[in-house]
Amino acid sequence: MSILVVEDNRETRRKIVADLKQNGFKDAVFEAVDGLDGFQKASQNAPDVILCDIEMPRMDGLKFLTAIRSRTETEHIPVLLLTSNTSRDIRLKGLTTGAHDFIHIPYDPQELVARAKLHLNAKRREEELRKRNKELELLSHKDALTGAFNRRYLCHILNVELGRAARTDGMVSVLMLDIDHFKEINDRFGHQAGDLALKKVTAEATACLRDYDLFFRYGGEEFVVMLPDTSKREALKVAHRLCQKVRAIAFSHISPDLKITVSIGVAAYPDNDVCSVEELLAHADQALYQAKQSGRDQVA
């Protein structure tokens, strides 16, 4: 945790820094001599709390605040404005520009430290929440068993991708995979072996796709691959490669007889003349049905 003190009055600045250092912020206090200096230091170090004077040369406290709030790296940092005989007008401007608090100069050292700690803790809690929200958001996109993205995320992201392709005259392809005779695999080797097969297929497929291709668990033993910027020709190649990869998966620790294969249906925008996610997936599903009808372990 670090505090930045932005104050052009040398005496006030030194005193604040000394008070903070004596009260739990020993190696964590930085100083800046005016708004511009403060803005540069805040941009470099992203301190946890900023104490900032209002009247300063080069860049005053309100301009400093505006600048801090306009950058993603610094927008959440609590700023406490130092006010001496500041007008009500300026104080209101400070609040509406994003100041968290005011400290009246001359200040009470204990109160100054207490306020700094209050805002530090609040910021820490906020950061924790933001982090957890991000983790939850990511989790809400994933399937619990395989770690693949889930169907909800597929609908969202494929819609985004299809929109982009339509706007930019681009392409997007999808593969729909279904494990062949999976019911038999469960029946012969047990449900746990079936679960493992689902995880293995996910791991193998994810490993052989490009970074910007996404792998989804669509339902039970069905998966979808989204291939941005990919023609149907290219998508067919990817599908054949996936078929081969799955065929080669060994489950020797379960049984040498456990082998899995997949059937894959391919569809592409604009090839299939589709306007919606539903239509694109329906085409892939029809192709998958053909692959199944033609004997499984193949691409259509």
Please give the helix or strand (H or E) that residue 93 lies within, else none. Answer: helix 88-97
SS3 128: helix
Q: Which is nearer to Mg ion, 127 or 184 (CB)?
A: 184
List beta partners, residue 223: 177, 217
Looking at the DSSP assignment, which residues form a beta bridge with residue 51? 5, 80
Query: Where do contacts with ligand GH3 occur on this chain (CB under 6 A)?
Result: 145, 178-183, 186, 191, 194-195, 198, 220-221, 292, 296
Q: Check whether the bond before 106 is cis (ω within 30° of 0).
A: yes
At closest approach, how far in Å is the CB of 258 from ligand GH3? 12
Shortest CB 178 distance to Mg ion, Å: 4
Residue 187 Cβ, how far from ligand GH3 at the closest point, in Å? 9
Instruction: For the chain, list the strands marked E by DSSP.
Output: 3-6, 29-32, 49-53, 79-83, 101-104, 172-179, 214-219, 222-228, 262-269
Q: Minimum distance between the CB of residue 44 and ligand GH3, rounded to whole angstroms?
A: 50
- The reply to whether 53 sits near Mg ion by the rule CB under 5 A is yes
**Interacting span for Mg ion (CB under 5 A) from 2-10, 43-51, 223-231, 243-251:** 2-10
The least CB distance from residue 215 to ligand GH3, in Å, is: 16
DSSP symbol at 142: B
**Degrees, nearest 5: CA angle 9-13-15:** 125
Q: Are 19 and 77 in contact (CB under 8 A)?
A: no
- Are 20 and 116 in contact by the 8 Å Cβ rule? The answer is yes
By CB under 5 A, the residues from 198 to 257 that bind Mg ion are: 221-222
Q: Which of 30, 102, 153, 182 binds Mg ion (CB under 5 A)?
A: 182
Q: Which stretch binds Mg ion (CB under 5 A): 64-72, 127-135, 180-188, 264-272?
A: 180-188
Active site (annotated) includes residue 279: no
Contacts (CB under 5 A) with Mg ion, residues 62-121: none
User: Which residue among 221, 222, 278, 279 is the active-site one?
Assistant: 221
Which residue's CB is nearer to Mg ion, number 33 or number 254? 33
Decide whether 222 or 279 has the Cβ nearer to ligand GH3: 222
112, 103 contact by CB (below 8 A): yes
Chain residues in the site for Mg ion (CB under 5 A): 8, 53, 55-56, 178-179, 182, 221-222
Q: List active site positions.
A: 221
